Structure 1
Amino acid sequence: MFPKPIQKSGALASMSYRVALPIALVLWLLPLIAVMLTSIRSMDDINKGNYWGWPEDTQMVENYTQVFTSTAMGDYLLNSLMITLPAVAGAVALSTLAGFALAKYRFSANIWIFALFIGGNFVPFQILMIPVRDLTIAFGLYDTHWALIFFHIAFQAGFCTLFMRNFIVGIPDALIEAARVEGVKEWRIFWYVVLPLVRPALAALAVLVFTFIWNDFFWALVLVQSDEVRPVTAGLSSLQGQWLASWQFMSAGAVVAAIPPVVLFFTMQRHFIAGLTLGATK
């Protein structure tokens, strides 16, 4: 039913794996390599068509310094943090509460509410563009940080609740019943019993949601107009001039924008992997 491990496969399968893996890895890394090389090129080098070769004149310090001195990259990064951190905290907090209720409480509409959360994940977000934009205008939230914060909390709630509910279901009911017998209130059960047990899942979910929200480009264009609120993903597109595209600055900005999610992943790597594999083994 399941494929055999590569160590137990035949010589042909093992050789094919060893050949295909580095090729796939190089193909996957090619765009990233191109962006990183472009970020240290000079404009003359780009105009000569040297896109893949080593830069004739490396300007790493100059390009990365000019991204912050000549553009609003610093403000874009700050805006992304001001949007992403509250949105991640709100989505994870609400989904953990909802997941606990759906996993451990028995009521008539339980399965239907859970199905509603699942169904929301299959709604194409593009069809929400006009209604969401109109709602933000009606409530005076358009072109503010709160427009993106509230939207991301609402839009991520379905996936996050599904994620957390499936983890909390695995907590033995005997632990919760024992706490109730001792007279512990429901909120304290959630805080002192459930949360410590799902901490790896919380870490994994926080990393995933942080990456989703930080890399969002579509809603940053739909709900934001001014540079004072624009996050880094939408800010990168503004580095492209009307008549001339400074590809070296756009590439340097893209590398800078990719650093926070990468740093977060490696910081939380142990908890992230533990969260994804929680319950996979006994």
Structure 2
Amino acid sequence: MFPRPIEKASTAHQVAYKAALPVALIAWLLPLIAVMLTSARSIEDLNKGNYWGLPEKWMLIENYSEIFRVTPMATYMLNSIIITLPTVVVSVAFATMAGFALAKYNIRFRILLFAIFVGGNFIPFQILMIPVRTLTIDLGFYDTPWALIVFHTAFQTGFCTLFMRNFIAALPNELIEAARVEGVSEWKIFRHIIVPLVRPALAALSVLIFTFVWNDYFWSLVLVQSDEVRPITAGLNALKGQWLASWQLISAGSIIAALPPVALFFLMQRHFIAGLTLGATKG
């Protein structure tokens, strides 16, 4: 059912694995390396077709400072923060409460409700473009941060509920029953028992949702259009001119846009891995 560890494979398989691993890693890193080199090139270097070689003139500081000087990059990043942080907090909070109810309460239609949360994750989000856009216009949310905050919160809560329900269902019922016997309220059980026990799962889920929302491009184009509310992913697309694209600035902006999710992952790496492996072993 599970892949056999490479240490237990034959010598030929181990040699092939060790030879293929660096090749695959380099192939995966090549686009990132190209973007990093392009972010340090001059426009003259790009016009000469030097895309893969070392820059003839390193413009690292100039390009990264110019991206903030000549473009609204700071506004784009602030908009992404304004959109992403409330979405993560609200969707994870709602999902944890819903997951607790679906996992530990014997309510009617519990399986049906859980199936609705799960089924929503299989809907292609592209087919929601017209109704969601129309709804945001009718509610007066179009071209405001609320359009993306409300939509991402609603759309991500289904996946978060699936994630949290499975973690909470693995917790022993005896803990909850013992607290109820002592007269502890349901809210205090949730706050003081459930939440501390699933803290690694909350950290892992928060990192995932932060990455999903921060890197969203499709809905950033559909629901907003002005620079005042445009997040960084759509903002990078706006840097391309009609006749000429400053690829060195776009590449520098792409590196800047990728830094917050990467930094968050490394800051939360221990909790992220603990959350993903929680309950994976017995004993």
Query: What TM bracket, shorter-length normalisation?
Result: over 0.9
User: CA separation in 1, counterparts of 2:17 and 2:165?
Assistant: 37
Question: Is 1:5 aligned to residue 5 of structure 2?
Answer: yes
* Post-superposition offset of 1:131: 0.3
- Counterpart of 2:207 in structure 1 is 207
* 1:214-253 alignment, distance < 5 Å: 214-253=214-253
Q: Runs ≥4 in structure 1, deviation > 4 angstroms?
A: none
- Counterpart of 1:129 in structure 2 is 129
User: CA separation in 2, counterparts of 1:25 and 1:166?
Assistant: 33
Identity of aligned residues (%): 68
User: CA separation in 1, counterparts of 2:263 and 2:123?
Assistant: 31
Q: Secondary structure at the match of 2:22?
A: helix
Residue type matched to 1:125 in 2?
Answer: F
Give RMSD over aligned pairs.
Answer: 0.6
* Post-superposition offset of 1:189: 0.3
* Post-superposition offset of 1:2: 3.3
- Counterpart of 2:260 in structure 1 is 260
Residue type matched to 1:167 in 2?
Answer: F
Residue type matched to 1:109 in 2?
Answer: F
* Post-superposition offset of 1:3: 3.1
How does the TM-score come out when normalised to structure 1? 0.99
Where structure 1 has 5 or more consecutive residues not aligned to the other structure, the ranges are none
Residue type matched to 1:262 in 2?
Answer: V
- Counterpart of 1:105 in structure 2 is 105
Question: Is 1:23 aligned to residue 19 of structure 2?
Answer: no
- Counterpart of 2:183 in structure 1 is 183
User: CA separation in 2, counterparts of 1:125 and 1:234?
Assistant: 18
* Post-superposition offset of 1:127: 0.3
Kindly provide the CA deviation profile for residues 127-158 of structure 1, in whole angstroms up to 9, marking residues without a partner as x: 00000000000000000000000000000011
How does the TM-score come out when normalised to structure 2? 0.99
User: CA separation in 2, counterparts of 1:232 and 1:257?
Assistant: 7
User: CA separation in 2, counterparts of 1:56 and 1:3?
Assistant: 47
Count of aligned positions: 282
User: CA separation in 1, counterparts of 2:122 and 2:8?
Assistant: 39
User: CA separation in 1, counterparts of 2:209 and 2:80?
Assistant: 13
Residue type matched to 2:234 in 1?
Answer: A
